[in-house]
Amino acid sequence: MKIKRIITAIFFLIIVLFSLSFAILNASPVAIHYYLGTTETPLSLLLVYAFGLGILLTLCVTALSLFQLKIENRSLKKMLEKNNALQAASSVTMMKP
């Protein structure tokens, strides 16, 4: 278990170092034109914002899909319980002479 933590820490460190070198290489400012104005921000920061927004949108869509699946699962469980109850009741009536 300790080796797994060490490997995870090394992997995380490599990602951090790669991200820092990427940020240093792409530190030049980029103009962003909004509908109401313009601002300048470093390219690396802009890419981090875009990546974060993509993660946030993905999480929202996944949560919505998961919520719909939970609702469907709940209704299917209720149907299964009704069918089991009907099946148990019909098997009891068939056994009576």
Which residue is it, tokens 């019909």? Answer: 90
Are the C-beta atoms of residues 40 and 32 closer than 8 Å to each other?
A: yes
The tens digit of pLDDT for each residue in 26-61 reads 889 999 998 899 999 998 888 889 989 999 999 999
Q: What is the DSSP letter of 38?
A: E
pTM (2 d.p.): 0.61
Tokens linked to 26: 């792409």
Q: What is the mean pLDDT of residues 75-90?
A: 89
**Host domain of residue 90:** 2-95
Total H helices, total E strands in the chain: 2, 2
Count of domains observed in the chain: 1
State the DSSP code for 1: -
For 7-20, how does the pLDDT look when each residue is reduced to its tens digit (9 = 90+)? 999 999 999 898 88
